[in-house]
Structure 1
């Protein structure tokens, strides 16, 4: 499966209006597009940053939806009074112990490795990181997105609530510290979000 992620840098005053638009207009419009499996939305109210991610059955349907998705993005940025950046990914790993609910806490980690090491990163994530992440208190699910051509990757791990996410910071940091040495990856950024929409609907891949 594949994914398109739209990162929106919004004016904080227009966050609620924008979230309502995404939930009421963007999500049902995407659902009607051929090959769209689902959508999720992360929100950082302090920074005014939102990440809307749609999942697609294959790369062909992802590419075929570009024009329609761009129109949705353009309209959403108007409502958010925002700028937006679109990235495309392969969904490489998914584990879901419990379905995440709205207002769950989600920690996102952006990584970069040598493109030749992408497969090693995926294997390490599946075999070593996921079992350790699943032992963190309040764990719900985790997803790894990769761009094999650039060596970029994004890991997200969701927790039952923000308190569980905050309590897990040191534990997850230790997990990543061991893993990045093994695969030769660099952590570019770590950020925490509230889960506003939880319907990505990607099947488990571990």
Structure 2
């Protein structure tokens, strides 16, 4: 669960072994999602994403999430070959993932950082990497947002 304590915006994710398992859980999880919406006092938006890249060394305390539009195959290759090795050399880096939504032509890249200071120190290089990924994908940057990592407990295998 990612949270922006200033705006109240949060993102909760779950992962599933298969699309069929995810769909089968919908009826059971609907009341849980509704209860979460009531507790948080907001609205719920649900998106479905495929995991294209998952690389985690450890969990941190904050995340930067970037949404990009473009050629998802090119974006995935740039992320895997060009960006991930660079991220691994960045002080304070913990993990990175790239999720893709084929129907919307969107990629969602998330990087986790040991501390907010480390994340802030990486902003200039992150901007460059993001521009490169969007350019290589023939697309554009849709949005970028920074969050606190409130809870991390996904059992997703390495997919780098």
Q: For the superposition of Structure 1 and Structure 2, which TM-score range results when normalised by the shorter chain? A: over 0.9
Match of 1:125 in 2: 79
Shift of 1:173: 0.5
Instruction: Report Cα offsets for 1:51-74 as digits up to 9, x if no partner.
Output: 000011111101111112221111
* 1:185 and 2:142 aligned: no
Say if 2:78 and 2:133, in contact at 8 Å, map to a contact too: yes
If asked which structure has higher relative contact order (CA below 8 Å, sep 6+), I would say 2
Shift of 1:205: 0.4
TM-score (norm 1): 0.75
CA distance in structure 2 between the aligned counterparts of 1:167 and 1:70, rounded to whole angstroms: 39
SS at 2:13 equivalent? strand
Bigger strand share? 1
* 1:105 and 2:62 aligned: yes
User: What is the RMSD computed on CA atoms of the aligned residues?
Assistant: 1.1
CA distance in structure 1 between the aligned counterparts of 2:73 and 2:52, rounded to whole angstroms: 9
4+ runs deviating over 2 angstroms = none
TM-score (norm 2): 0.95
Match of 2:32 in 1: 72
Match of 2:148 in 1: 194
Aligned residues: 160
Counterpart among 50, 56, 64 of residue 10 in structure 2: 50
Shift of 1:161: 1.0
SS at 2:133 equivalent? helix
CA distance in structure 2 between the aligned counterparts of 1:136 and 1:200, rounded to whole angstroms: 23
CA distance in structure 1 between the aligned counterparts of 2:133 and 2:73, rounded to whole angstroms: 14
Say if 1:136 and 1:171, in contact at 8 Å, map to a contact too: no
Say if 2:94 and 2:113, in contact at 8 Å, map to a contact too: yes
* 1:144 and 2:103 aligned: no
